[in-house]
């Protein structure tokens, strides 16, 4: 009996396609598995630390063109990046006509999104030629409405229909079109989103997201030396760890695949044999440790609001939140006591509006006192295994006490998926290390 293959969508990030050498690795990966039907490329990224991404060069050209400045130097750089790839791959393809058209459009003051999108567009043409796949311009299959909001349903239908008719195709990442045909991009790093959208439209079995790391790590490698990788993580856990995940995978790329129940496999182009991390809806598999991951960020402010008998005053919380809403400030966490509530907000966003928010709280909620503390770091300790493991919180706080770290705040949702801890900015790295060691190192 003939074996029925899987349907895989594969997205490659900018560093995986930064030059011909990387491009060849990508070609080998795709060709080594005939289930890899649809490929989504980013624009060429950095070849070395101080290099400039093609997307950034394109933004620069557009900026200069709008100011009637000469952008030929940057444009030549872009051209040579692509020509080097073409030459290195040994394919017979000329992008001269495309370059000329893009240059002309830029001179005629084409938009920022159009300019940026050309990075993926040109890379898509090269990739399709190199792999002998069909090129499908994302502008013809990904749609935004006239308000600029992504139109997921129309896209899903048109894209699904189109790709049903092709066996192997390249669809450039990062952009689509508005109803009048103008190009519109997602936010930076948005090729991840395109990959997820394609996966949903064709009901893929797996969405492989190829990058330059072998998946998620239990903790930040800048803080923990050689941290353990995460083999499986649920969508929910990843959301709770969003401080960590953002640099590996665009947050918005979760929604389309999650909706369709498609697992995501983060893989490393430079180490394709590594299993990478799986992101799944749900799993019966225990994580290796009680915790799945630890992530955090410095730079939060705590606004402590006190009022006697707060607990019986109906609507008090709403009034306080209204003061933040009116000033367009979102909050991260909101632990509370019987007569107190505290809001944790990003210090950078809060500081310029500090006094406006305080006076609004006074006006709306009439509290007894308000106190602000800043320089706080938040740490999320996340794990689906916490629910069934006794003493997790105890172990965390014993480890922090042992490391002489003062805990400023504790917040645990009733889902028992995470514990949020607030510490001083200065204690941040020590706290992460103490928690990591107690759960991971000790068991080795
Ligand atoms: N090239 C775009 C960027 O640099 C999109 C992407 O790489 O996903 O943001």
109-164: per-residue pLDDT in tens? Answer: 999 999 999 999 999 999 999 999 999 999 999 999 999 999 999 999 999 999 99
Relative to the CA of 174, which ligand 1 atom is closest? 5
Instruction: Give 190 Cα–ligand 1 centroid separation in angstroms.
Output: 6
Show the domains of the chain with their CATH numbers. 8-212 (3.40.1160.10)
Under the banding of pLDDT at 50, 70 and 90, the label for residue 413 is confident
Pocket probe mutation, ligand 1, options 45, 55, 120, max atoms within 8 Å of Cβ: 55
Q: What is the pLDDT of residue 75?
A: 98
Q: Is the pLDDT assigned to residue 355 strictly greater than 70?
A: yes
Query: To the nearest whole percent, how much of the chain has pLDDT over 90?
Result: 85
Q: What percent of the chain has pLDDT over 70?
A: 98
CA of 216 to the centre of ligand 1 (A): 20
CB-based contacts of 85, cutoff 8 Å, min separation 6: 17, 19, 20, 23, 44, 126
Mean of the per-residue pLDDT values for the chain? Answer: 94
Structure tokens of 365? 């909620």
C-alpha 359 chain-centroid distance: 36
Atom of ligand 1 nearest to the CA of 13: 7
Q: Is the CB of 188 under 6 A from ligand 1?
A: yes
Q: Which residue ranges make up the annotated binding site?
A: 11-14, 55, 120, 211-212, 222
Judge contact between 73 and 9, C-beta under 8 A: no
> How much distance in Å is there from the Cα of 186 to the middle of ligand 1?
9
Cβ-contact 323, 366 below 8 angstroms: no
**Average of per-residue pLDDT across 386-410:** 92
User: Is a pLDDT exceeding 60 seen at residue 343?
Assistant: yes
Q: Tens of pLDDT along 297-329?
A: 999 999 999 999 988 889 999 999 999 999 999
pLDDT of residue 241: 86
For ligand 1, pick from 15, 16, 39, 119 the residue to mutate: most ligand atoms within 8 Å of CB. Answer: 119
| 84-90-96-98 Cα dihedral, nearest 10 degrees | -90
Say yes or no to pLDDT of 330 above 70: yes
pLDDT score at 245: 62
| pLDDT number for residue 444 | 46
Give distance in angstroms: CA of 188 to centre of ligand 1. 5
Binding residues for ATP, by number, are 11-14, 211-212, 222
Q: Which ligand 1 atom sits nearest the alpha carbon of residue 191? A: 8
Which two structure tokens, joined as six digits, stand for 75?
Answer: 């444009």
Residue-wise pLDDT tens digits, 30-71:
999 999 999 999 999 999 999 999 999 999 999 999 999 999
Averaged pLDDT, 86-94? 97
Q: Taking 90 as the threshold, does the pLDDT of residue 371 lie above it?
A: yes
Instruction: Give the residue whose CA is nearest to atom 5 of ligand 1.
Output: 189
**Range with lowest mean pLDDT among 178-182, 247-251, 354-358:** 247-251
State the pLDDT confidence band at 383, using cuts at 50, 70 and 90.
Answer: very high
Q: What is the reported pTM?
A: 0.89
pLDDT single digits (tens) 156-201? 999 999 999 999 999 999 999 999 999 999 999 999 999 999 999 9
pLDDT (0 to 100) of residue 184: 98
């Amino acid at each position: 009996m003939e074996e029925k293959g899987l349907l895989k969508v594969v997205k490659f990030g900018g560093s995986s396609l930064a030059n011909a050498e990387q491009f060849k690795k990508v070609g080998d990966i795709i060709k080594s598995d005939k289930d890899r039907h649809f490929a989504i490329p980013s624009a060429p990224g950095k070849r070395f630390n101080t290099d400039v991404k093609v997307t950034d060069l394109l933004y620069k050209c557009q900026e200069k063109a709008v100011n009637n400045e000469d952008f030929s130097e940057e444009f030549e750089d872009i051209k040579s990046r692509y020509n080097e790839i073409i030459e290195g791959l040994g394919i017979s393809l000329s992008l001269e006509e495309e370059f000329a058209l893009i240059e002309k459009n830029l001179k005629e003051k084409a938009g920022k999104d159009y300019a940026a999108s050309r990075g993926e567009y040109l890379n898509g043409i090269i990739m399709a030629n190199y792999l002998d796949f069909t090129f499908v311009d994302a502008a013809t299959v990904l749609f935004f409405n006239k308000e600029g909001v992504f139109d997921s349903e129309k896209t899903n239908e048109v894209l699904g229909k189109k790709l049903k008719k092709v066996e192997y195709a390249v669809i450039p990442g990062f952009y689509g079109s508005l109803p009048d045909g103008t190009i519109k991009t997602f936010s930076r790093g948005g090729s991840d989103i395109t990959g997820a959208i394609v996966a949903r439209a064709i009901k893929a079995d797996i969405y492989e997201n190829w990058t330059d790391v072998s998946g998620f790590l239990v903790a930040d490698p800048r803080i923990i030396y050689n941290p353990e990788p995460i083999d499986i993580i649920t969508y929910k856990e990843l959301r709770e760890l969003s401080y960590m995940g953002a640099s590996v995978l665009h947050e918005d790329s979760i929604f389309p695949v999650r909706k369709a129940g498609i697992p995501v496999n983060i893989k490393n182009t430079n180490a394709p044999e590594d299993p990478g991390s799986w992101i799944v809806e749900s799993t019966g598999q225990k994580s290796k440790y009680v915790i799945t991951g630890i992530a955090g960020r410095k730079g939060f402010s705590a606004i402590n609001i006190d009022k006697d008998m707060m607990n019986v005053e109906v609507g008090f919380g709403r009034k306080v939140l209204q003061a933040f809403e009116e000033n367009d400030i979102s909050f991260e966490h909101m632990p509370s006591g019987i007569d107190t509530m505290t809001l944790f907000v990003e210090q950078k966003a809060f500081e310029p509006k500090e006094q406006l928010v305080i006076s609004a709280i006074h006006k709306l909620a009439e509290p007894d006192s308000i106190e602000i503390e800043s320089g706080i770091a938040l740490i999320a300790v996340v794990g689906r295994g916490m629910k069934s493991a006794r003493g997790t919180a105890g172990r965390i706080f014993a480890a922090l006490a042992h490391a002489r770290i003062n805990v400023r705040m504790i917040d645990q949702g009733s889902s028992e998926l995470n514990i949020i801890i607030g510490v001083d900015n200065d204690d941040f790295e020590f706290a992460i290390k103490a928690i990591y060691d107690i759960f991971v190192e000790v068991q080795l």
